[in-house]
């Protein structure tokens, strides 16, 4: 019998649905669970030592049961935060229960030594900081926009004086509000005359605006690379803020030097998968036209035209058919 693939994500996740469908088509055993369902919908009993060097026991969802030793791969997608499960509790009880669930259940799910992780949550955490991303990208020889991280008005003003146009980006985006809704702050041009002492309150990310002709999203899974040119009808600064149904996509070839750097980037963070964003100047045929913006180690791709092929690439790697350094993914 084929090893089981454990898919850890929230209930509504169209991207994960595509991968599960691809695995089902191959008759691969799949158990899908959201760790935040801990309680009646999710139960477990894990054992280790003496005589047991790995976690054994069982994990039971509403419809499936699996032993840790049966799990050959973990697709760690986007589970619901544990705190959401306990949001009805007083603050102290909520924080205690969340931490216990994360360190107990999450601790075991993070430690399946015989499983391949795509991606391991520890690797995602390491790779999720934009300063680390930008530094690694430039260390690998990729061009990045001139960047300033500051909480000082003078530093921000000096940066703006040295660049024709400056944009502001968030590091993490907006958290959920009390009603549970989420929002977004898009990349936006900044008027330097609006700088004031309020900059002191927190860290800000400013970059010189790249005079781009388009954007490119590059999705890398192990040794597979999928790249789509993205343009908007109105030439928006941030393509994410408009109607995604109006985006214009076309396949694009990634220059060999860029592709090599992307594989090096993932390997350096212990990642199997990542979504890279680039701003392109000129025609994009020369690697010097490619400006690296960021890498999302758990990015969305289900909306891309080549999503079916990407889903098959995920199914390949999760069933150990996709090549790459699987040992690295296990050690992360």
Query: What pLDDT score does 2 carry?
Result: 80
- Say whether pLDDT at 204 is over 90: yes
Q: What is the pLDDT of residues 31-50, one digit of tens each?
A: 999 999 999 899 999 999 88
Query: Strand 214-221 relative to strand 224-231: parallel, antiparallel, unpaired?
Result: antiparallel
pLDDT band at 84 (very low <50, low <70, confident <90, very high): confident
Q: Which residue has the higher pLDDT, 180 or 112?
A: 112
- Say whether pLDDT at 324 is over 80: no
Q: Which residue has the higher pLDDT, 52 or 81?
A: 81
pTM of the model: 0.90
Distances (CA, A) of 283 to 229, 232, 239, 279, 287: 11, 16, 18, 11, 10
- Say whether pLDDT at 325 is over 70: no
Mean of the pLDDT values across residues 247-270?
A: 95
- Say whether pLDDT at 323 is over 60: no
Residue 167 tokens, joined = 């944009």
Q: What is the pLDDT of residues 89-146, one digit of tens each?
A: 999 999 999 999 999 999 999 999 889 999 999 999 999 999 999 999 999 999 999 9
Q: Which domains does the chain have, with CATH numbers?
A: 4-114 (no CATH), 146-208 (3.30.1490), 212-301+322-331 (3.30.470.20)
């Amino acid at each position: 019998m084929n090893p089981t693939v454990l898919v850890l994500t929230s209930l509504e996740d169209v991207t994960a649905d595509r991968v599960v469908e691809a695995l089902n088509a191959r008759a691969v055993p799949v158990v899908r669970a959201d760790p935040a369902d801990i309680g009646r919908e999710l139960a477990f009993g894990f054992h280790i030592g003496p005589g047991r060097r790995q976690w054994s026991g069982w994990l039971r969802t509403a419809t499936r049961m699996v032993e840790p030793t049966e799990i050959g791969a973990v697709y760690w997608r986007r589970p619901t935060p544990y705190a959401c499960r306990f949001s009805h509790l007083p603050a102290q009880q909520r924080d205690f229960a969340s931490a216990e669930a994360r360190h107990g259940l999450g601790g075991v799910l993070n430690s399946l030594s015989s499983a391949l992780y795509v991606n391991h949550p520890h690797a995602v955490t390491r790779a999720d900081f934009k300063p680390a991303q930008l530094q690694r990208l430039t260390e690998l020889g990729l061009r990045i926009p001139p960047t300033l991280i500051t909480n000082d008005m003078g530093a921000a003003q000096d940066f703006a004086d040295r660049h024709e146009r400056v944009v502001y980006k968030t590091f993490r985006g907006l958290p959920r509000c009390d009603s549970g809704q989420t929002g977004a702050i898009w990349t936006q041009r900044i008027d330097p005359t609006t700088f004031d002492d309020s900059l002191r309150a927190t860290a800000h990310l400013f970059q010189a605006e790249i005079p781009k002709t388009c954007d490119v999203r590059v999705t890398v899974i192990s040794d597979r690379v999928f790249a789509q040119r993205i343009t908007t009808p109105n030439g928006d600064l941030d393509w994410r803020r408009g109607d995604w149904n109006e985006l214009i996509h076309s396949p694009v070839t990634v220059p060999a030097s860029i592709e090599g750097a992307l594989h090096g980037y993932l390997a350096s963070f212990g990642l199997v998968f990542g979504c890279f964003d680039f701003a392109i100047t000129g025609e994009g045929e020369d690697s010097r036209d490619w400006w690296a913006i960021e890498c999302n180690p758990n990015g969305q791709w289900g909306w891309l035209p080549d999503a079916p092929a990407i889903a098959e690439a995920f199914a390949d790697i999760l069933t150990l058919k996709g090549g790459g350094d699987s040992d690295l993914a296990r050690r992360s």
